[in-house]
Structures are given as C-alpha cells and as structure tokens.
Amino acid sequence: MHLPDHQLPGQRPSAEQPQGRHQTSGRCFIIPPYLLRRLARQDAPELLSAARAAKEALSHIRSVQSARTAPQPAAPPAFRDVQPGPPNRSIYDAAGSETLPGKLVRKEGDPESGDLPTDEAYDGLGHTHRLFADAFGRNSIDGHGLPLDATVHFGKLYDNAFWNGQQMVFGDGDGQVFERFTRSLSVIGHELTHGVTQFSAGLAYRNQAGAINESLSDVFGVLVEQYVRKQSVDQASWLIGEGLFTAQVQGKALRSLKAPGTAYDDDVLGKDPQPDSMDSYVRTSADNGGVHINSGIPNRAFYLAAAALGGNAWEAPGRIWYETLTGGSLPAAATFSVFARATAASAAELFGSGSAEHDAVRKAWETVKVKL
C-alpha cells in the first residue's frame, strides 16, 4: 500500500537531549495532516466553514513544523526513587488568538471556572498526572514535578490539539466536523505522553520511530481513560478521540487500538487508513513517514498483549510499555522490531522469561507480523 507523497516539512530535533539522545521538536498534533487535507478539499456549501478551518489548521502545522526549534536545556534523568508530588496545573485562555499562553484563568486548587473547556483541561491534566504517579511512580511529565500548563480557546474554530514541548494547547473545533478538543480525555492523555517521551526516550518523530512515538501516546491516552473509569480490558472502548466527531460524521473516534482501520468511514473524511499488521504497512513520505498511520501496528500489539492477560491494562501491560519507554535503552531511531524486542525484554525482566506476560508480549508482536 502506498500513499501520495504530500511531504510536510519535517520536524527538526533540538540540539540537546538528556543522556545524549535526539529530542523531537515537541510539536505533536492529535489530528493527522491527511485527515485535515481531506476536509480542506471539500467545497460543498454546508462544509465551507469546516474546510476553511481545516486549511488554517494545516497551515499552522506547516508553520510550526518548518520553524527551527530553539535548543532546550538538557533535563536530568528521572530517578526511580523520586516520590511523585501533587500536580501543579495552570490553565490559560487564548481568547481566539494564537498567542501563548494567554490569560491565566484557573490555577491549582482553584474552584471550577464555569468555562467547560477550561475545567475539562484542568481535570484532564490531573487525571493524566494521576495515572503516571499512581501506576508508574512518575513525578509529572518530566519525572521531576514539571508544572502542567494548558491553553484553551486557541485560534478561531481551530481543528487540533497539540503538545508544543512545554505545554498543552486546545482548539475549540469547527463545530461541523470536530467538537472542542478538551472533550476527549484520551486526547489529553495522548498529547501529554508526547511530553513523557520527550523527557525520556526522545524518540524521533519520523518513520517507524515516529509511529512508535505516536503509538505510545495512544497507549497511555487510552490508559488514562481506563484508569479514571476503572475499566478492565474487556470493558474499555480502546478508542482515541471518542466524542471528538460531531453527529454529522460517520465515525466513533480518530483511531482504534483494538481494531485499527475501523475508527471511521465517512464520505467526507474517508476511511480510517491505519493498518493492523505489517502486511499492510504504509510506505509514504507524508505525515513524517506515516507516523499517525503506521502507529496502528504497535497499537494493536499492545491491545493484543493486554487482551491476552485480561484485568486492567495499566497494570502488567502498562508497566511493560512504561519501563520500555523510560528504561534508558530505547534508541531514538528505534524500529518496530527494536521496540518489540525491548518490550519483550522488559516483560522478561519484570515478570520472568517464559511468564504469561512475556509470552503475551511475544505473541502479540508475532500476530502483527513484527519480527522479534
């Protein structure tokens, strides 16, 4: 399978990264460029507003990805014995501008503001912090208590949410295709996990390493939602971005970890293009080498491992993936095979070689045709 080569300017790594790794530029968006391009081409009168919003969102992606990212000071490695502290959240309001961070409208400990996106962002940051603290012992996104900042009401009808290397940013959506982006807890968890990756493995945001980067954000995005709702593997939806589409769209979510390629099938947006195994791996120069598309393969591997083990996915499977991400051995340019072997090694170290956990991980990668 091949996609047209609509190459976007690539993200450039910053000059410094902990432990000698290459850091991504940090600007990671939840809505893939290929989906926005579909929407931007629409010329039906009832979709003109949404098409215009999609064009503006694409223009914003191009502008921030083509800009050189200022070098960031190297962060110290996260110590395993650091006791997680409470979250330190600040929510800002851009009031329709694209100036960050905007006006401070709610800080840690403040009561609800009465503005739904503000309060959803505040809660979502807290829920994500709690998953990483309670389940994995991590002290915020960087492992050292990083304050969690977010800006809401970014831009005019802005069709995206992103992590910019320092904070979360949420658009309100166009109202025709996309709802407000604070509506989905899995989206908030997804984007903040890009920060965890930035401060740990520093995976490159291109080709298979970029798809692993996206997959890790999808994995921990669904785990945040499952943890908050206390959902077992069988009870969870395994969807990223559930609730983002308006009722006009034929689709449940942006992506499905359980069944990649089935999240939406719409006459405007097209069909979810994610493959569920290497048999359908997409070779393309678009979207930084298909980072949002091919992430379906490692996504399904995580789901299969979790389904084989049952119970709560944030426990054994989540620990294995978290240790792989933060353990210090994952190269920035990891391929699917390198990542698969690393997860199997983590499972063996945590639970023993030949354990049910180790076997579940190995079988999951074999099912999606990734060689160990």
Residue positions annotated with a catalytic role: 191, 292
Say how far apart CA 341 and CA 344 lie, in whole Å. 5
DSSP 358: H
Q: ∠ at Cα 132 (129, 138), nearest 5°?
A: 105
Q: CA distances (Å), 323 to each of 192, 205, 317, in order?
A: 17, 20, 10
The strand pair at 27-29 and 103-107 is best described as unpaired
Measured distance CA(104)–CA(167) in Å, rounded? 13
189, 223 in Cβ contact below 8 A? Answer: yes
Strand, coil or helix: 245? strand
Reduced 3-state DSSP string for 59-99: HHHHHHHHCCCCCCCCCCCCCCCCCCCCCCEEEEECCCCCC
- Nearest-angstrom CA–CA distance, 246 and 178: 6
Backbone angles phi, psi at 345, to 5 degrees: -65, -40
Contact call for residues 3 and 270 (beta carbons, < 8 A): no
Q: How far is CA 297 from the centre of its chain?
A: 15
